Amino acid sequence: MNILAIDTSSKYFYLAIAEDDKIKVNICPPSGRELSRMIIPLIERALKKARLSLKDIDCFACGLGPGSFTGLRVGLAVIKGFAFSLNKPVVGIISLDCLAGSQSDFPGYVCPIVDARRSLVYSAIYRAKNGILKREGRYLLVPLKELFAKLKGRANIIFLGDGLSLYRDDIKKEFGLRAHFADEGFWYPRPENLLKLAREKIRNREIADLDKLVPFYMYPKECQIKEKVKSEKGEVRG
């Protein structure tokens, strides 16, 4: 089975093409405001490198966020367009799950922290055991102090995500030696994790309904509208 997977939730455009368990192409260029212009040429280039055509793709996978409002819209629109025109299935992946997946071997708790602006973070709490991650509780859009309260009493926690560039010192102060930090290379959704989660969904027949597949926004709708108006002045997040 050939899978084409993308994630556009962060400042990088992650793209991977895999044949069964083998990753044939894996790229992650920075994107930002250039995403809408570069996404199709990069996908075409990746397909050529994999010696495949778009028709050879059996299933598409797309990171749903939370993250960049604009990036998520662009990425999902492209994937839905491909899937609709070729009548191929799509699976949607929550980007926090993909992010946490890089730490599935960590013997303790895994906590991605993604900057959501407005002094808020996107997060979730996962427990890693025997190479399997299980999320404990819901996905979060909260101030840092509220996340700390939810982590109270837990020991051996690894943090990752671009929120560490802002909040590492606060985390150290709060948790001391109980806190561990993933290297910066693991701060963004990695293609291999996206593909792994996509395969699981395909095996479980969790195929998305194209008409209902939307970005995973956590801000209220009225905030999204206001942020969309401001998007010309800078990056916005979902």
Q: Which domains does the chain have, with CATH numbers?
A: 2-94+189-233 (3.30.420.40), 96-186 (3.30.420.40)
Residue 29 C-beta-side C-alpha neighbours within 13 Å: 13
Going by pLDDT thresholds of 50, 70 and 90, the confidence category of residue 236 is very low
CA distance 195 to 200: 9
Q: What's the Cα-to-Cα distance from 57 to each of 120, 136, 203, 205, rounded to whole Å?
A: 38, 34, 16, 17
CA distance 151 to 5: 32
Helix-helix angle 164-175:144-151, to 10 degrees: 40
- What token pair was written down for 169? 């010192």
DSSP bridge pairs for 121: 115, 142
Q: How many residues does the chain have?
A: 238
pLDDT at 149: 97
Q: What does the DSSP 8-state code read for residue 103?
A: G
pLDDT at 233: 45
pLDDT at 221: 64
Residue 57 C-beta-side C-alpha neighbours within 13 Å: 28
CA distance 77 to 80: 5
Mean pLDDT (whole number) for 213-221: 87
CA distance 112 to 94: 12
Mean pLDDT (whole number) for 209-238: 65
Q: What does the DSSP 8-state code read for residue 219?
A: S
Please, what's the b/e burial string for 81-99 (b: 16 or more CB within 10 A of its CB; e: otherwise)? ebbeeeebbbbbbbbbbbb
Name the nearest CA neighbour of 23 among 226, 155, 144, 195: 195
Q: Is the pLDDT at 20 greater than 70, yes or no?
A: yes
pLDDT at 228: 45
Mean pLDDT (whole number) for 181-192: 93
Q: What's the Cα-to-Cα distance from 189 to each of 39, 110, 122, 154, 185, rounded to whole Å?
A: 17, 14, 14, 24, 10
pTM for the predicted model, two decimal places: 0.88
